[in-house]
Amino acid sequence: MGEVGGETSRESWAKAHEDNDLEAGTVRYEEEYITNSRGLKLFTCRWIPANEEPKALIFICHGYAMECSITMNSTAIRLVKAGFAVYGIDYEGHGKSSGLQGYISSFDNVVDDCSSFFTDVCERKENKKKMRYLVGESMGGAVLLLVHRKKPDYWDGAVLVAPMCKVADDMKPHPLVISVLRKLNKFIPTWRIVPVQDVVDAAFRQPEVRAQVRANPYCYKGRPRLNTANELLNTSLELEQRLHEVSLPFLVLHGGDDKVTDKAVSQQLYDVAASWDKSFKLYSGMWHGLLYGETPENIEIVFADIIGWLDQRIEFGNSRLERELKLENDEILISKHM
C-alpha cells in the first residue's frame, strides 16, 4: 500500500474522515490496540462526552465486514450527545485489527474477545457503578447475544438492530451448494468462493452510503471466505434454536424490507425470549442498515426509539448494581459473624 505524507493511504483516508465527522468540543475520541489471548492485536476505540460524566456505558458490536471507528462513528456520536460513553472493538480479521481480512477462524473467538474487552472496561474503578448496555448490528447482534450468554446477569440491557439470528433465505446459496462448500471448507477455509448477493447493495438504501462503505479501505468487500460463511451460518442456526434463553432487557429493531437478515426471527426472539422487559419495533419500508444506511428522516426515528428506550431504563434505576451491593453487604455481615 502506498504512502501518503508518511502515512499509509488507509490511515490517511480514515484520519480525514474522522476529522470531518467528530464534533470539536463535545466528543472526545480515543484509540488503543490491545492484545488478545491468541496474541493478535485488536483495535479498540471509545467516544466519551468531553464535558460531563457519562450516564451509562454502551458497547458496540459491529456487523460482518464492517468496523467501528468509521462506519459506526455517526452512531457513536449520536449516543455521546445523548450522554453515553461508547466503546467499540474491531473483530479479528476486521477493520484495523490483525488477522486475514474478512476471515473468522471461530465465532467463539470473536465473542471471547468482545466479552473480555467489554468486561475489562466495566470493571475499571470509574465505571463500576455505571449501567452497561450492548448494541449489536446484524452479525453484531449475534455477537451480542452470545456475549450475554457468557454472563447472563452482567448486562443491564441490549439494543439489537436487524440481528443475525437467521440469515435471510435469499442471501444464502442453494442447499446443495452449501453442502459442497462445507466439504471444501475442510481443505481451503480461507478461499473467497462463496456465491452470495452483494451485501452492500442489499443492506443500504442510500446510494451515497453504499459508496462510502465501498470507499472505506477498512471494510472487507470480497466474497465471503469459506470458513467465515460456515461460522456465520452455524452461529445463526444455533442461535435460532436457543432464543428462549435470552433473559436480559432488550429492544429489537428490524426494517420491514430487510433482505439480509430475517425479520420473522426478530419477531420470534421477542415472542419466546425469557426476558420480562422486551420490545420489538418493525419499521415499514426500511432496509437492513437502520443506523446509518437509511434516509436522514428514518435515522432520526430509529435513534429517537433507541435513546428513548435507554433513557427509560436508566430512569428505572440500576437493579443489577443494587443486587451486587446487597450481596457484598451480606457477605461482609456473614464474615463479621463467623
Contact 313, 131 (CB under 8 A): yes
Whole-angstrom Cα distance, residue 69 to residue 51? 21
Quick one: what percent of the chain has pLDDT higher than 70? 86
Q: What is the pLDDT of residue 176?
A: 81
* Nearest of 139, 142, 106 to residue 242 by alpha carbon: 142
pLDDT at 55 over 70: yes
Q: How does residue 167 score in pLDDT terms, banded at 50, 70 and 90?
A: confident
Return the higher-pLDDT residue of 114 and 181: 114
Distance CA 204, CA 54 (A): 31
Hey, which of 19-23, 113-117, 234-238 has the most confident mean pLDDT? 113-117
Whole-number Å distance between alpha carbons of 27 and 47: 6
- Per-residue confidence at 188, pLDDT binned at 50, 70, 90? very high
pLDDT digit string (tens) for 234-287? 999 999 999 999 999 999 999 999 999 999 999 999 999 999 999 999 999 999
Please, which pLDDT band fits residue 214 given cuts at 50, 70 and 90? very high
Architecture of domain 21-336: 3-Layer(aba) Sandwich (3.40)
Q: In a 3-state reduction of DSSP, which class is residue 269?
A: helix
Is the confidence at residue 196, as pLDDT, over 50? yes
SS3 122: helix
Which whole-number Å values give the CA distances from 314 to 57, 84, 130, 213, 321, in the listed order?
11, 11, 10, 34, 12
pLDDT of 56 reads 97
CB 299 within 8 A of CB 291: yes
125-162: per-residue pLDDT in tens? 999 999 999 999 999 999 999 999 999 999 999 999 99
Domain assignments of the chain as residue spans, ordered by start: 21-336
Question: For residue 295, is pLDDT > 90?
Answer: yes
DSSP E strands, 146-273: 157-161, 250-255
Nearest CA to 313 out of 273, 276, 282 is that of 276
- Per-residue pLDDT of 82-104, as tens digits, reads 999 999 999 999 999 999 999 99
